[in-house]
Amino acid sequence: MSVALLSSEVFTEPGGFTEGVEGPACDGWGNLYAVNYARQHTIGIVRPTGECSVFVELPPGSTGNGIRFNSIGNMLVADYTAHNVLLVDMETGDVSTYAHEPTMNQPNDLAIGANDLVYASDPNWADDTGQIWRVGVDHSVVLLETGMGTTNGVEVSPDERTLYVNESVQRTVWAYDLSPTGELSNKRLLIQFPDYGLDGMRCDVDGNLYIARYGKGVVAKVSPMGEVLAEVPLLGRNCTNVAFGGPDGCTCYVTVADRGNIERFRTDRPGRSWLLFQKRQLLKS
């Protein structure tokens, strides 16, 4: 792979995904998944070669957004139209309801801890507010925080001790202390941007956040101390989310709504989720 460090290039052809392209997430075999390939209500699979196809069709009334993988390799999908977190069996392609909460606004993005606790952002775009939910391994749903701005990107730090949540309209990123049982405390402002929006974000193994700056057409690399370390210019402007993958975990994939495709660039450090998968594989062997 000849992609220069922090230099973005086209990975999938523009127009292959709808403007609702989101997700994204990589499995342990180098495949990338993102929602709304070819049409709404699908999840697409992108092979390491860039070849795309429909992986699964979601149930009627369901539309995917954020995607994550749990410790046994099954896919979890934020279903914002039906107020669900869906479970996709990667062997059979069967789609079931992992958790349902009718009082959710529209679950947007997901983060997942090494202990399989799931955290879901839940914006209400009509009034620029939002919430955060936790979904347990027993499928129980707990409201962690309400009265926030438009919660969107959400991520767990590599040491599992911090939960990051951003607010799109308010352009803020918040950090919480995260307990082993998934309780939040000590809310503090990590950074507030002066312009444009925020969308999905993911951590590398050093705890740096890679944040999709919707409308600005860049991915911002932000340190755990809230310092902007770099901005990666993209070909599209409306970037919606990021994911780490590739053979060494150092390829960052970016979903881009205005071009209906996925871009990629190289980083100097692998992603947290990629490293977590490697550790799990070592424990199994």
List, by residue number, the catalytic residues.
199
User: Cα separation of 257 and 200, whole Å?
Assistant: 12
Nearest to 188 by CA among 162, 208, 216: 162
d(CA 191, CA 228): 9
Phi and psi at residue 216, to the nearest 5°: -90, -25
The pair of structure tokens assigned to 137 is 């391994």
What contacts 152, CB < 8 A, 6 or more positions away?
108, 109, 121, 123, 130, 166, 167, 168, 198, 199, 200
DSSP string, 73-111: S-EEEEETTTTEEEEE-TTT--EEEEEE-TT-S----EE
Q: Which of 112, 111, 102, 70 is nearest to 87 (CA)?
A: 70
In whole angstroms, give the CA distance from residue 53 to residue 59. 18
